[in-house]
Chain A
Amino acid sequence: IAGITQAPTSQILAAGRRMTLRCTQDMRHNAMYWYRQDLGLGLRLIHYSNTAGTTGKGEVPDGYSVSRANTDDFPLTLASAVPSQTSVYFCASSDSGGAIPYNEQFFGPGTRLTVL
């Protein structure tokens, strides 16, 4: 049972390059999320998807895009990376999204991205 997998584990990227962070879940959860966590801070929501085919913007969406072609995969793309996007990126999923009460989120192991 894998839960949520993320790839790559870490990456060093030159500024201006395009990068896609991969996220796959095998729990058949409807909702998926991308967060970034900067040193010593809490998580900030980048984008979310409450079901396949739909996505929404979170707190810090600028510079990032997502797609949700199917239930299992939710890739995050940085079209042209900048140093301020250096962070740890976590993907998460939950059985439901905005429904009350909202279900617990299950997190992947994270991707550590450094943009130089």
Chain B
Amino acid sequence: LAKTTQPISMDSYEGQEVNITCSHNNIATNDYITWYQQFPSQGPRFIIQGYKTKVTNEVASLFIPADRKSSTLSLPRVSLSDTAVYYCLVGEGNYQLIWGAGTKLIIKP
């Protein structure tokens, strides 16, 4: 089971691009990389998932280098409402996911 390492906390300012990097040195061939967002008193919400290279959707981009030992979640032009905890997950399937403590992102005005 692949474990992940991500910063405990980060802060930024409204309108900035925020990049959160996750390390997963022992990622396996079949593992996908998934990011979730969690607001206080709510369940996590799926942001983005990828296997290699770059994935982009309407809210974020996910950059994965060729060796797949790390990944970076990029949030363009953040707002105060992006203040949340962000989880990086690596696994072959939902039953094998290990949820770490996540990165607490604080956006300042």
Contacts and interface: CB of A to CB of B under 8 A. Distances in A.
Interface string A86-116: 0000101010011111111111111000000
B93 A102 contact: yes
Contacts of A107: 42-45
B99 A48 contact: no
Contacts of B94: 31, 33, 48, 94, 97-98, 102-103, 105
A107 B39 CA distance: 12
A42 interface: yes
Interface residues of B, number: 24
Contacts of B102: 42
B81 interface: no
Bin the interface of chain A by size: 20 to 34
Nearest to A91: B43
B87 interface: yes
A31 B42 CA distance: 20
A75 to B, nearest CB: 17
Contacts of A102: 32, 91-94
Given A90-B44, A98-B92, A101-B51, 6 more contacts: A48-B95, A90-B43, A97-B93, A102-B91, A107-B42, A110-B41
Interface of A: 4, 31, 33, 35, 40-45, 48, 50, 56, 58-59, 90, 92, 94, 97-110
Pairs A-B, 9 closest by C-beta atoms: A107-B43, A42-B99, A98-B93, A104-B46, A43-B99, A102-B94, A102-B93, A90-B43, A42-B100
